[in-house]
A and B are shown apart, each in its own frame.
Chain A
């Protein structure tokens, strides 16, 4: 009997380890031989811990499970109160286009043979059979853009590094996923770490890079452990190391751990941090592609960009480009979070509307109260009111509406949300996390908190000042931290102005 119990951090945070222990104990009490596989998460996080049992019809899902629910699995699974039917028939799962996350939750994440049996390494083999220029062409033709939030075309970045004269060259994976509402990087690193390693190795072949780093935030201990184990396994198997699967080029990969600085998710600040410096932002140019880690040509890509690469190389650029709309091609792993009924990871082609994501897929709020606002793209993303629900999920469309796709995390807030409080939080967060390099961010964020406090105290004259300050931060900051903090602030102000105006005294 095969039983899957996720080892994903979200599942563990909801008691998956205790459930796995209880399954083993119950099986022993009943004298039944079970094989418990600790898989990644299928992404239906409201059902975690989601236990799956192998049946002739397919894998049956049960969730959310507690140790007390385990005995029932061995008695009458079909009528178990937590039975969800076949995992892949659950509506949330079935309507996805899972390319990047195809294997996440399906297999033991550290089983390289299972990885290969499920299509793993096919992309790397395709890349090994071609010259670097052809690999770069393929990625460029796919239309893949940086999934970390900036949306810069991945192929163009790779081409710059390929043609850079200096050596050595580096591949740096940005796994400093600090945005609230985002957990796709974490899920992929925990649930399918070889996919990221394969994507980075393809990037190395495409650009001539011989060393790579994955910079993971320290708040992700499970992902760090999993990636370290996977790198060791891949190195022993000869996938990476002195030679990439027999190729003359080698690729050494190292896992590095951040130290709790949000700004290190910005690529130049991440590079400084990797070099052992304060995570201060660098002015661009020079581009990291030409002068990155240790002043050498460096590809810096987000986990999701790199993890999309193996599929593109295995199935061809056209197949990827066929999905999506406009200049947003391929799939985007949406992370639906906050006050939402069906929270989780939903990978789909670009173009789905915000309203469909929140109300149909997410099922509305967890509290049952009406949705008030949805923050898209992390702490630097705009708050979208329900009137924005027709907006298609695409880079340009969100930018046109004063927002951003970011890392595709969505945080739903219900009617109880305090928009002035959330705007103040955005400024406060920027003040705490500012690296201090540029004035608009370092000083502006502190003044922003003070100005919002004046607004809260009923001083209407502070509002024009706030708008002016936001404008300065937007145009004058060196990176997205100071430059985008105005997005949540101004969107809250624009869409919920009544919460920023002085309360009328009852006596008036």
Chain B
């Protein structure tokens, strides 16, 4: 839940920093799971920016969420190196097993695409919450689905 006092603390930590908006937004998302709409005005006020400017920054970057993600987040790499190693097949299997498409949140699981995790010689790769997984094959996908569905 959004907590104005907690937001003030975050803003206070970053006071005086050069270019503090991204670090602030990262902290806000780490705290609340997304960037709550109610946080925009206080952030804008603290940084002497317009609300539109803060909203524009939030909207520009793929990382910042308007709504909280599921309990588990699977980011499947869909970039070229993973495509060369059968990434499309991994996507099909993952979507079928979870019953959801890339970009959807269902049953507490968020499934989304990411473009490169830097595991290009160990492809196909994914990030499950904070854990990286390389050399994804059918068995690894099934294990991963069992893990997030538990």
Interface residues of chain A, those whose CB is within 8 Å of chain B, are 9-10, 12-14, 45-46, 48, 177-183, 185-186, 211, 218-222, 256-262, 273-280, 293-294, 335-340, 343-344, 366, 375, 379, 409, 411-414, 417, 422, 425, 429, 433, 435
Q: Is the CB of A276 within 8 A of B21?
A: yes
Q: Is the CB of B119 within 8 A of A180?
A: no
B63 within 8 A of A: yes
Q: Is the CB of B116 within 8 A of A425?
A: no
Chain B residues closer than 8 Å to A275, beta-carbon distance = 18-19
In this complex, how many residues of chain B approach chain A with their Cβ under 8 Å: the count is 40
Extra 9 A-B pairs, beta carbons < 8 Å, given A339-B85, A422-B83: A46-B121, A211-B18, A258-B61, A259-B64, A274-B19, A276-B21, A337-B123, A338-B81, A338-B84
18 cross-chain CB contacts under 8 A: A13-B119, A13-B122, A14-B122, A45-B122, A183-B118, A218-B26, A219-B127, A257-B22, A257-B26, A258-B61, A260-B63, A276-B20, A277-B21, A277-B57, A293-B18, A336-B121, A414-B84, A435-B60
Chain A residues closer than 8 Å to B114, beta-carbon distance = 219, 260
Q: Which 10 A/B pairs are nearest by Cβ-Cβ distance?
A: A343-B121, A276-B21, A180-B79, A337-B120, A259-B61, A260-B62, A13-B134, A338-B84, A13-B132, A45-B121
Q: Is the CB of B116 within 8 A of A10?
A: no
Chain A residues closer than 8 Å to B134, beta-carbon distance = 10, 13-14
**With contacts A181-B120, A182-B120, A294-B19 known, is A411 near B81, CB below 8 A?**
yes
Interface residues of chain B, those whose CB is within 8 Å of chain A, are 18-23, 25-26, 47, 56-57, 60-64, 79-85, 114-123, 125, 127, 130, 132-135
Total cross-chain contacts (CB, 8 A): 147
B53 to chain A: closest residue by CB: A277
Minimum C-beta distance from A231 to chain B (A): 15
Determine the distance from Cα of A277 to Cα of B47 in the docked complex, in whole angstroms: 12
Chain B residues closer than 8 Å to A13, beta-carbon distance = 117, 119, 122, 125, 132-135
Chain A residues closer than 8 Å to B79, beta-carbon distance = 180, 379
Q: Is the CB of B116 within 8 A of A178?
A: yes
Minimum C-beta distance from B141 to chain A (A): 14
Determine the distance from Cα of A273 to Cα of B20 in the docked complex, in whole angstroms: 10
A413 to chain B: closest residue by CB: B84
A342 to chain B: closest residue by CB: B121
Determine the distance from Cα of A336 to Cα of B121 in the docked complex, in whole angstroms: 7
Of A219, A256, A293, A366, which one neighbours B116 at CB under 8 angstroms? A219
Q: Is the CB of B83 within 8 A of A425?
A: yes
Chain A residues closer than 8 Å to B62, beta-carbon distance = 259-261
Q: Is the CB of B125 within 8 A of A181?
A: no
Determine the distance from Cα of A278 to Cα of B25 in the docked complex, in whole angstroms: 13
Determine the distance from Cα of A418 to Cα of B113 in the docked complex, in whole angstroms: 20
Chain A residues closer than 8 Å to B23, beta-carbon distance = 256-257
Chain A residues closer than 8 Å to B64, beta-carbon distance = 259
Q: Is the CB of B84 within 8 A of A178?
A: no
Minimum C-beta distance from A201 to chain B (A): 19
B20 to chain A: closest residue by CB: A276
Q: Is the CB of B122 within 8 A of A343?
A: yes
Q: Is the CB of B132 within 8 A of A337?
A: no
**With contacts A177-B118, A338-B81 known, is A9 near B26, CB below 8 A?**
no
Of B19, B20, B120, which one neighbours A335 at CB under 8 angstroms? B120
Of A14, A221, A222, A429, which one neighbours B135 at CB under 8 angstroms? A14
Chain B residues closer than 8 Å to A258, beta-carbon distance = 22, 61, 63
Minimum C-beta distance from B10 to chain A (A): 14
Chain B residues closer than 8 Å to A429, beta-carbon distance = 115
Q: Is the CB of B19 within 8 A of A338?
A: no
Chain B residues closer than 8 Å to A178, beta-carbon distance = 115-116
Of A260, A279, A412, A435, which one neighbours B84 at CB under 8 angstroms? A412
Q: Is the CB of B123 within 8 A of A338?
A: yes
Q: Is the CB of B117 within 8 A of A219?
A: yes
Determine the distance from Cα of A95 to Cα of B117 in the docked complex, in whole angstroms: 28
Q: Is the CB of A183 within 8 A of B121?
A: yes
Minimum C-beta distance from A268 to chain B (A): 14
Chain B residues closer than 8 Å to A379, beta-carbon distance = 79-80, 115
Q: Is the CB of A180 within 8 A of B82?
A: yes
Determine the distance from Cα of A9 to Cα of B20 in the docked complex, in whole angstroms: 28
Minimum C-beta distance from B85 to chain A (A): 6
Minimum C-beta distance from B37 to chain A (A): 18
Determine the distance from Cα of A180 to Cα of B83 in the docked complex, in whole angstroms: 10
B134 to chain A: closest residue by CB: A13
Determine the distance from Cα of A175 to Cα of B57 in the docked complex, in whole angstroms: 20
Q: Is the CB of A179 within 8 A of B116?
A: yes
Chain B residues closer than 8 Å to A279, beta-carbon distance = 60-61
Determine the distance from Cα of A211 to Cα of B19 in the docked complex, in whole angstroms: 13
**With contacts A259-B61, A260-B63, A343-B120 known, is A180 near B19, CB below 8 A?**
no
Determine the distance from Cα of A278 to Cα of B133 in the docked complex, in whole angstroms: 31
Chain B residues closer than 8 Å to A218, beta-carbon distance = 26, 63
A412 to chain B: closest residue by CB: B84
Q: Is the CB of A9 within 8 A of B22?
A: no
A186 to chain B: closest residue by CB: B118
Minimum C-beta distance from B82 to chain A (A): 7
Minimum C-beta distance from B131 to chain A (A): 8
Determine the distance from Cα of A211 to Cα of B18 in the docked complex, in whole angstroms: 11
Chain B residues closer than 8 Å to A257, beta-carbon distance = 22-23, 26
Chain A residues closer than 8 Å to B19, beta-carbon distance = 274-276, 293-294
Determine the distance from Cα of A14 to Cα of B126 in the docked complex, in whole angstroms: 11
Minimum C-beta distance from B49 to chain A (A): 8
